[in-house]
Amino acid sequence: MKIEIWSDVACPWCYIGKRRFETALAAFPHRESVEVQWRSYQLDPSLPEHYDGTELDYLSTRKGMAPAQVAGMFAHVAEQAKGEGLNYRFDDVVVANSFTAHRLIHLAAAHGRQDDAKERLLSDHFEHGRDIGSREYLTSLGTDLGIGTVELDELFTTDKYADDVRLDFEEGRALGISGVPFFVIDRKFGLSGAQPAETFAAALEQAWQESQPLVMVGAADSGEAVSTSAATGEACGPDGCAS
């Protein structure tokens, strides 16, 4: 069973969703038969490499949200994150374009360290105030993951993995994804947002049952269509994050 997760490292609900999904997956009896692939998504592709301002400034000015509304959203999201063992520090978040960070995740995938890269980027961005657009930071992270200097230099001197990131964007649009996190199971089922762990668990069980070889004669071909869960979890989209 394959699960693809469209997500942005600059999305606060994506880290919460990652934790809730991991909780469900850890308890899933068939977890050893599940392949997880992180797919790239950008909430704001137009964001400059570095933004001269705080996260509150960015959301209130570029997204047209009132500062009080943004502060309330931060408080709500931080509280939800705390429930998953995460310590969000929005005052320290460095606003930066995430495109090169997504390229690093693809590079890490080639070394079998994709999830490790995703985890570090999310944690460093939301909990430790690191600059996910910085060459120095991304090189240090890549080194920690065991990636060689030559390959890491290519992230900043070539367009390597840029097409892979863009392909993720295109596939997400083709599937109708307009906010993240978004979880796609076997290209048949879709779950939008940071669902509760119980919802993820139910979806895993249903998808597993339907993926087994015992099929009713005459059953309709499911094709490639993605059926989205009726329940919608909290997520981030181009116009901002759920509060």
User: Tokens for 203?
Assistant: 């979806």
How much is the pLDDT for 23?
Answer: 98
- What confidence tens digit (pLDDT) does each residue in 128-178 have? 999 999 999 999 999 999 999 999 999 999 999 999 999 999 999 999 999
Quick one: average pLDDT of 22-47? 96
- What confidence tens digit (pLDDT) does each residue in 73-82 have? 999 999 999 9
| Confidence label for 224 from pLDDT (cuts 50, 70 and 90) | very low
> How many C-beta atoms lie closer than 10 Å to residue 153's C-beta?
13
Confidence check: pLDDT of 225 > 50: no
Quick one: average pLDDT of 62-91? 95
How much is the pLDDT for 92?
Answer: 97
Rounded (to 5) percent helix, strand, coil in the chain: 50, 15, 35
Averaged confidence pLDDT in the chain: 90
Cα(31)–Cα(1) distance, integer angstroms: 9
Domain segments of the chain as ranges: 2-210+228-241
Identify the helix (H) or strand (E) that includes residue 185: strand 182-185
Name beta bridge partners: 7.
Answer: 40
Integer CA distances (angstroms), 67 to 3, 75, 215, in order: 37, 12, 54
Confidence check: pLDDT of 219 > 80: no
CATH number of this structure's domain 2-210+228-241, picked from the four choices 3.40.30.10, 3.90.209.20, 3.40.50.1820, 3.30.1370.100? 3.40.30.10
Confidence check: pLDDT of 89 > 60: yes
Identify the helix (H) or strand (E) that includes residue 189: strand 189-192
Cα(31)–Cα(35) distance, integer angstroms: 8
Quick one: average pLDDT of 43-48? 92
181 prior amide bond cis, ω within 30: yes
- What confidence tens digit (pLDDT) does each residue in 3-26 have? 999 999 999 999 999 999 999 999
How much is the pLDDT for 223?
Answer: 39
Q: Which of 52-56, 108-112, 124-128 has the lowest mean pLDDT?
A: 52-56
Confidence check: pLDDT of 241 > 80: no
Cα(171)–Cα(152) distance, integer angstroms: 26
| Confidence label for 236 from pLDDT (cuts 50, 70 and 90) | confident
Cα(17)–Cα(180) distance, integer angstroms: 9
> How many C-beta atoms lie closer than 10 Å to residue 67's C-beta?
12
Global pTM reads 0.88
- What confidence tens digit (pLDDT) does each residue in 169-210 have? 999 999 999 999 999 999 999 999 999 999 999 999 999 998
| Confidence label for 242 from pLDDT (cuts 50, 70 and 90) | low
